[in-house]
Protein backbone atom coordinates (compact mmCIF):
# COMPACT_ATOMS: atom_id res chain seq x y z
CA UNK A 1 0.00 0.00 0.00
CA UNK A 2 1.32 3.42 -0.91
CA UNK A 3 -1.13 5.81 0.76
CA UNK A 4 -4.60 6.19 2.24
CA UNK A 5 -6.73 9.28 2.77
CA UNK A 6 -10.28 10.30 3.55
CA UNK A 7 -12.44 12.92 1.88
CA UNK A 8 -16.04 14.15 2.12
CA UNK A 9 -15.97 14.67 5.90
CA UNK A 10 -14.31 11.25 6.36
CA UNK A 11 -17.13 9.50 4.48
CA UNK A 12 -14.93 8.34 1.59
CA UNK A 13 -11.75 6.33 2.11
CA UNK A 14 -9.24 6.12 -0.73
CA UNK A 15 -6.52 3.45 -0.82
CA UNK A 16 -3.63 3.82 -3.25
CA UNK A 17 -1.95 0.49 -3.95
CA UNK A 18 1.38 -0.30 -5.56
CA UNK A 19 1.49 -1.16 -9.23
CA UNK A 20 1.42 -4.87 -9.98
CA UNK A 21 4.33 -6.29 -12.00
CA UNK A 22 2.00 -7.13 -14.90
CA UNK A 23 -1.30 -5.79 -16.15
CA UNK A 24 -3.90 -6.51 -18.82
CA UNK A 25 -2.25 -4.14 -21.31
CA UNK A 26 1.01 -6.10 -21.12
CA UNK A 27 -0.78 -9.41 -21.46
CA UNK A 28 -2.87 -8.34 -24.46
CA UNK A 29 -0.02 -6.66 -26.35
CA UNK A 30 2.35 -9.60 -25.78
CA UNK A 31 -0.04 -12.27 -27.02
CA UNK A 32 -3.49 -11.36 -28.36
CA UNK A 33 -6.25 -13.13 -26.45
CA UNK A 34 -8.67 -15.49 -28.12
CA UNK A 35 -12.37 -14.70 -28.06
CA UNK A 36 -12.84 -17.30 -25.31
CA UNK A 37 -10.09 -15.71 -23.19
CA UNK A 38 -11.55 -12.22 -23.70
CA UNK A 39 -14.97 -13.43 -22.56
CA UNK A 40 -13.41 -15.03 -19.46
CA UNK A 41 -11.51 -11.83 -18.58
CA UNK A 42 -14.66 -9.72 -19.00
CA UNK A 43 -16.74 -12.12 -16.89
CA UNK A 44 -14.09 -12.17 -14.14
CA UNK A 45 -13.80 -8.37 -14.22
CA UNK A 46 -17.57 -7.93 -14.05
CA UNK A 47 -17.89 -10.34 -11.12
CA UNK A 48 -15.06 -8.57 -9.31
CA UNK A 49 -16.61 -5.12 -9.81
CA UNK A 50 -20.03 -6.35 -8.68
CA UNK A 51 -18.43 -7.82 -5.55
CA UNK A 52 -16.51 -4.59 -4.83
CA UNK A 53 -19.60 -2.43 -5.36
CA UNK A 54 -21.69 -4.69 -3.09
CA UNK A 55 -19.18 -3.76 -0.35
CA UNK A 56 -19.42 -0.04 -1.22
CA UNK A 57 -15.93 -0.09 -2.75
CA UNK A 58 -15.34 1.62 -6.08
CA UNK A 59 -12.32 1.32 -8.37
CA UNK A 60 -11.93 4.87 -9.66
CA UNK A 61 -9.54 4.24 -12.55
CA UNK A 62 -10.59 1.13 -14.47
CA UNK A 63 -8.38 0.62 -17.53
CA UNK A 64 -6.28 -2.27 -18.86
CA UNK A 65 -3.11 -0.79 -17.33
CA UNK A 66 -4.71 -0.98 -13.87
CA UNK A 67 -6.07 -4.49 -14.17
Three-state secondary structure of 35-55: HHHHHHHHHHHHHHHHHHHHC
State percent of the chain over pLDDT 90: 22
State the sign of the Cα–Cα–Cα–Cα dihedral 28, 30, 32, 34. Answer: negative
Domain contains 48: yes
pTM attached to this predicted model: 0.64
Q: Is residue 12 part of a domain?
A: no
Domain contains 1: no
The size of the chain, in residues, is 67
Boundaries of domain holding 57: 20-66
- Which residue in 3, 9, 31, 61 is the catalytic one? 61
- Residue 13's H or E segment, with its range, is strand 12-16
- 61 annotated active-site: yes
Of 36, 39, 2, which Cα lies nearest the Cα of 19? 2
Please indicate, yes or no, if residue 37 is contained in any of the structural domains: yes
Which tens digits make up the pLDDT trace of 21-44? 778 887 778 878 899 998 998 999
How many domains is the chain partitioned into structurally? 1
Amino acid sequence: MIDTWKENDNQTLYIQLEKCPSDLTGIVTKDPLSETEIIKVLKDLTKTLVDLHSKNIAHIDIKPGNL
